[in-house]
Amino acid sequence: MTETTPAWDFVYRPRRLVWWSCAAIIVVLIIHAVFAYLLTKSHIVVFGHTITFGDNGVRNIGSTDQWSILAIGVLISCGIALLTRPRVRVGAAGVGVRNLVGERVFGWDEVVGVTYPERGSSAWLEFPLDEHVPILAIRVGDGLRAVEAMERVRDLQDRYRPADTPGKTPPEDGRTAFGGTEDVRAGD
C-alpha cells in the first residue's frame, strides 16, 4: 500500500541555529581530536620550539584512550546535530512540527493559533485550554526571516482553518486551567 503524502504550502527551517550548530560540531570534533592526539605525548614541537609536559603518566595511556576521547567528541557532536532538525510545515492537512526528535502533524481543527510569547525564544502552536507545543524552527535568532515565517503561517491558518473551530474556551465542567474550580485571582 502506498500512502499519499500531503502537499505542504510552506516549509521553514531556521538558518542561524543550523549555522551555529555546524560550527559547534566542528569545534567539538577538533578539540577532541587534538586532545586525543596529545594524550600520549610528553612533548611537542610548535614553530621550532619544544614544549615539554613533564611526566604526565603516558605509560598507562594507550590508543584505546585516544579513541575513547575521540568517540566522546563524536557523541557530543551527534547531540549538537539534533539542533539542526527543527522544521515546521504548513498545508491543508495541518501543521507539521518537527523539533529535536520526532515530527507531529496537527490538524487545523485542533489548532487555536500560532503565537510568539513575550519572553520566549521560539514560537508556540496553541491549542484549546492553554496547551501549546513549541515550534523550535521559528526562533528569535532568525530575526526578520522568523517574522515573515510567522506571518506566512498565520496566513495559511486563516486560509485552511475551519470557520467553526472554537478558540480558547474554558472547560464545560467549570475547571480552571490549573485543574481546580476556584479562581486563582480571588485573593487580589
Here the cell at position 57 is: 603518566
Higher pLDDT, 163 or 78: 78
**CATH 1.10.760 fits domain 86-160:** no
Give pLDDT, residue 86: 93
What lies within 8 Å, CB to CB, of 14 at 6+ separation is 86, 136, 137, 138, 139, 141, 142, 146
What lies within 8 Å, CB to CB, of 29 at 6+ separation is 73, 74, 77
Task: Assess whether pLDDT exceeds 80 at residue 124.
Answer: yes
Q: How confident is the model at residue 72 (pLDDT cuts 50, 70, 90)?
A: very high
End-to-end, the C-alpha distance of the chain in Å comes to 60
Question: Among 16-25, 103-112, 129-138, which range has the highest average pLDDT?
Answer: 16-25
Q: How confident is the model at residue 177 (pLDDT cuts 50, 70, 90)?
A: very low
Share of the chain above pLDDT 90, in %: 41
DSSP assignment string, 18-62: HHHHHHHHHHHHHHHHHHHHHTT-SEEEETTEEEE-----GGG--
**Is the overall model pTM greater than 0.75, yes or no?**
no
Task: Assess whether pLDDT exceeds 60 at residue 7.
Answer: yes
All structural domains of the chain with their residue ranges: 14-83, 86-160
98 forms beta bridges with 87, 103
Give pLDDT, residue 176: 39
Q: Which range (22-36, 109-123, 170-184) has the least confidence?
A: 170-184
